[in-house]
Structures are given as structure tokens and as C-alpha cells.
Amino acid sequence: MHQSFEFDVAKEADEMSTKPIPLGPNSLITNTSLKSSSLTEIDFDDTLMDRISMVNARINRGDLDGMAISGSSLDSVVFENCSLKGTVMVNCDVSGLIINGIHVGKLLNLITQGKES
């Protein structure tokens, strides 16, 4: 016996466009702009972010354990009351980075100049 299925593409597309699509652990986010976004209670454990812009983004109560960010801009992002244990930065421009009032970029320049003398 042949069963007939009716599928309304327009209706499905409309329903999909109003449903939030969750981003979660082990995601790949690439070539994306999250400029001035507000992300609350996100779980990006072990997520790879490649070529993204998070300029002026806000992350509130997020879990980013094991997340890797490559070739991206995090300019003007504010980290407040966060754990950065085990965080590694390689070949990053930290010229404007301030941690607890300490201008890290300037401090690193002084250290580098001292080693060259």
C-alpha cells in the first residue's frame, strides 16, 4: 500500500525561521559576524571559532571550556568575573589588552625591550 505524504515547504521554512537554532558544545562556527551580540548562558565547550568577529560582543554566563578561536577579532570585548585558567594566546595582538587595570600590551613591550638591551 502506497502512503502519500504532503509536505508544505513554505510552511516548514516559516516555522524553521522562527525556531531558535541552538549552538552548543563541539560546534564549528566559521566566517561569522557576532558584532555587538549579546549571548547569554551559552555552552561553547570544545567549539572551534574560525574567522569570526565578536567586536563589542557581550557573553553573559557562558561556558567556553576548551573553545579555540583562530583568525578572529575580539576587539573591545569585555571579560568580567570570568575564569581564564589555562588560556593560551599565540601570535595575538594584545596592544590594548588590560587585565585588572594592568596594560598588558605595554608591559610586554617593556619586557621585550629589556631583553633586547
Range of the domain at 57: 22-86
Q: Are 60 and 40 in contact (CB under 8 A)?
A: yes
Note whether residue 5 is domain-resident: no
Note whether residue 52 is domain-resident: yes
Share of the chain residues as helix, strand and coil, in percent rounded to the nearest 5: 20, 25, 55
Where does 1-117 show beta strands of DSSP type E?
Answer: 28-33, 38-40, 48-53, 58-60, 68-70, 98-99, 102-103
Note whether residue 11 is domain-resident: no
Whether residue 82 sits in one domain with residue 98: no
Whether residue 26 sits in one domain with residue 82: yes
SS3 category, 14: helix
Residue 97 CA to residue 106 CA, distance in Å, equals: 9
DSSP 73: B
Residue-wise pLDDT for 68-109, tens only, equals 899 998 888 888 888 888 888 888 898 888 989 999 989 988
Note whether residue 27 is domain-resident: yes
Residue 96 CA to residue 76 CA, distance in Å, equals: 9
Whether residue 38 sits in one domain with residue 59: yes
Whether residue 109 sits in one domain with residue 55: no
Residue-wise pLDDT for 4-62, tens only, equals 555 565 565 555 555 555 667 788 888 889 888 888 888 888 888 899 998 888 888 88
Note whether residue 10 is domain-resident: no
Q: Are 43 and 24 in contact (CB under 8 A)?
A: yes
Q: Are 52 and 34 in contact (CB under 8 A)?
A: yes
